[in-house]
Chain A
Amino acid sequence: MDKLFNLSNLLRKKIIEILFKKKTHHFGSCLSCVEIIVVLFFGIMKFSKKNARQNDFFILSKGHAALIYYLILIEKKFFTEKYLLKNFLTNNGTLGGHPDRNKKLGIDYCSGSLGHGISVGCGVALSHLKNKKKNKVFILVGDGECNEGMVWESFLFAGHHKLHNLFVVIDYNKLQGFGSTDKILNLSSLKQKIKSFNWNVYEADGHDVKDLLSKSQKLISKKNKPNLIIANTIKGKGVSFMENKFESHYQVLNKKDYLLSLNQISKKSKK
C-alpha cells in the first residue's frame, strides 16, 4: 500500500515538473487521476513489458490526461523519462498531447476525441469472451465525456451482453470545460443511472489508494456484469491553488507557481 501511495506522490511531482518544462496545460486532468492509474497498473491489471501478449487491455478514454499515462508506462519500463522528454509534444516526437496507438510503447489505443473508449473496450471485451480469453479490459473515463451519447450507447451494450470482463473507472472530479458538471450538464444520481443499465457500480475515494484497491478487487471478483467505479476526485489534487478549479485544465505554470506547487506536493508526500 505504501508503494502505491509513494508512487502516486512521485508521479504527481513529475506531472508538475514536466508540464512546467514543456510550458503546457492539462494539469488538473492529470492530477485528479494519479491514484486511479497507479492502482490500476500496480494493483489490479496484468500489464508488463516482458509478457506484453498476456497483458490486459487499457484505454485512456480521457486522452487529454496523456502525461500521467506516459509516466505510468515509464514505471512499467516501456520507455525512459529521457525518452519522454525528447518525444513529448516535440516536432517529430512520438508522444502527443493525446496518446496514439503504439504497441511498442505499451499504448493499446489512440484517444483524444471524447466518448469512444468504453465502446471500443466493449468490442475488445466481447472478443475476449468469444475467444474464452481471460484478459480484462480497463477504461479510464472522464466525467465531462459522460455527456457523449456514445458513452450511454456502450453502457447499454455492455449491460445487455453482461461483459463482466469490462472494468471502467470514472474520474469524477465534477469539473469540465466551462465549469462544474452540475451546472453544465447534470450527471446527478450517476451511480443509480449506471446501475440501472445492469452494471456493478461502487463509489470510491479516488485519492485513497486503499479504498480504490479494495473496491476494485471486490468488483473484479463478482464476474456477473460489467464493473464500474465512480472515483470521487478533486481536479488539480495536491496543489492548493489548482484544486477544484476548472481553470487548472488550461493553466500554464509560471516559475513562482511551479515552485509553490512542488513545495506543496513534497510536504504532502511526507505526511
Chain B
Amino acid sequence: MRFVFVKELIRYAKKNKNVYLVTSDLGYRAFEDFKSHFPERFINVGVAENNMVGIATGLALTGKKVFVYSILPFLVFRSLEQIRNNICHNNLDVTLVGAGGGFSYGPQGVSHNTSEDISIIRSLPNINVFNPGSRHEINEIMKIIFKNKRPSFLRLGKCPEKDFYKKNTKLKNGNGLIVCKGKDLTIYCTGNILENVYTAMNKVKLMGFSINLISMPIIKPINPQFVKSNLNSKKILTIEENSIIGGLGSIISSIFIKSCNDKMQFKSIALGDLVHNKIGDQIYLRDINNLSVNKIYNFLIKYLNE
C-alpha cells in the first residue's frame, strides 16, 4: 500500500508546497521518487524516531503539512509520548504513517509485528485513525487526509490484488464502505484482512447464506449512525488483525450495547491478549490466530448454524 500512498503523496505535494515527508531512515525503494521530485521536502532524520516526531512537531507548528514514516511499532510505541504531548495535544497537521501492522512483517518477529497499535492510538485525543484494506480505500483516505488539518494515523499493510468497490464509491469521514448486502449475518471488518473475509464470505454464500459485509477503514472517528443503519441481521461479527482489547470489536459492541436486545448475537475475531512471538509468514500467523480464509470460513459456518 505504501506505493499507492507515495504516488498519491507526490501528486498532492506538486500542488501543496507545504507538504514534507520525514523518515527515520526507512522507506528504501519506496521514497526515491518523492526525494527526486522534492529533495528540499524530504527529510531523513536518521535512526531516531523520537527526534523524528519532534522535528515533525516543529515543522507543523510553523505551518507545514507533515507526513512521518517508519515501521509501525517503532513509530507508535517508541514515540508514543512525543505523539501524545506534541502532535495530538497541539492538534497538529501531522500524519503518522506506519508500515506494516498486524502480521505484515511475518517471520521478522514480535519487534516488527503489532497487535496493539490501533487500540493505543485511537485512545489519543484529536487523532483520526485509518486502517485501509484495499487500493480504493487508501485512495479515498488520502483525500480525507489531504483535506484535513489535524493529526492522522495511517496503517499501511500489503495491498490486496483485488479491489472490492466500484470506482466512484465515495468514503465519508466517519463512515465505512458496504461491500455487499445480506440478511443472515452482518460483518464489520477493518484493514487488509478484508481480502480473507471477502473470500471466506463468498464460500459461505455458495451454501445459500446471505451476508452483509461492511469494511471500516476509518477507526476514528466512527459515525454510530452509519454502523447502526447498516445492521441488517440479528447476528453481528467483527473481524480485525488487532488486539481484542480496544479495537474494532470494542467500538462496534459499545455502539450496539445501548440498543441491544435478547435476540441479538455478537461475536469477534481478533488477536488474543498475548505476546505474538510465533515465527512464520503472515499467512501462517493469520491462520494460527483464526484469521486465515479457512478459519474465518469455519467460524462463519458455525456461527450461522447456531
Contacts and interface: CB of A to CB of B under 8 A. Distances in A.
Given A116-B82, A127-B59, A156 B46 contact: yes
Contacts, number: 84
B62 A157 contact: no
B10 interface: no
Interface in A116-151: 116, 118-128, 130-131, 149-150
A127 B58 contact: yes
A150 B51 contact: yes
B228 interface: no
A113 interface: yes
Interface in B31-84: 40, 43, 45-46, 48, 50-51, 53-64, 81-82
A78 interface: no
Chain A interface extent, by class: 20 to 34
A113 B64 CA distance: 24
A110 B84 CA distance: 12
A110 B50 contact: no
Given A120-B57, A127-B59, A153 B85 contact: no
B56 A123 contact: yes
B83 to A, nearest CB: 11
Residue among B58, B86, B89 with max Cβ neighbours from chain A (10 Å): B58
A109 interface: yes
The residue in B40, B62, B85 that gathers the most chain A C-beta atoms within 10 A of its C-beta is B62
A115 B81 CA distance: 11
B90 interface: yes
B54 A130 contact: no
Nearest to B50: A150
A122 B90 contact: no
Chain A contact residues, majority secondary structure: helix
Contact of B58 (A113, A121, A149): A121
A124 B62 CA distance: 6
Contacts of B53: 119
Given A130-B40, A153-B50, A123 B57 contact: yes
Contacts of A128: 62
A101 interface: yes
Contacts of B45: 153, 157
A167 B200 CA distance: 60
B59 A109 contact: no
B55 A110 contact: no
A130 B58 CA distance: 13
A157 B85 CA distance: 21
Nearest to A100: B89
A156 B86 CA distance: 21
A154 interface: yes
A157 B52 CA distance: 10
B126 to A, nearest CB: 13
Contact of A119 (B40, B43, B46, B51): B51
A157 B64 contact: no
Interface of A: 101, 108-110, 112-113, 115-116, 118-128, 130-131, 149-150, 153-154, 156-157, 160
Given A127-B64, A150-B82, 16 more contacts: A110-B85, A110-B89, A113-B81, A116-B54, A118-B54, A119-B57, A120-B58, A120-B86, A122-B54, A123-B57, A127-B63, A150-B51, A153-B51, A154-B51, A157-B46, A157-B55
Q: Which 3 A-B pairs have the closest CB atoms?
A: A123-B58, A119-B54, A153-B51
23 contacts: A109-B61, A110-B90, A113-B81, A116-B54, A116-B86, A119-B50, A120-B54, A120-B61, A120-B86, A122-B58, A123-B56, A123-B57, A123-B60, A126-B43, A127-B58, A127-B62, A150-B51, A153-B45, A153-B50, A154-B51, A156-B46, A157-B45, A160-B46
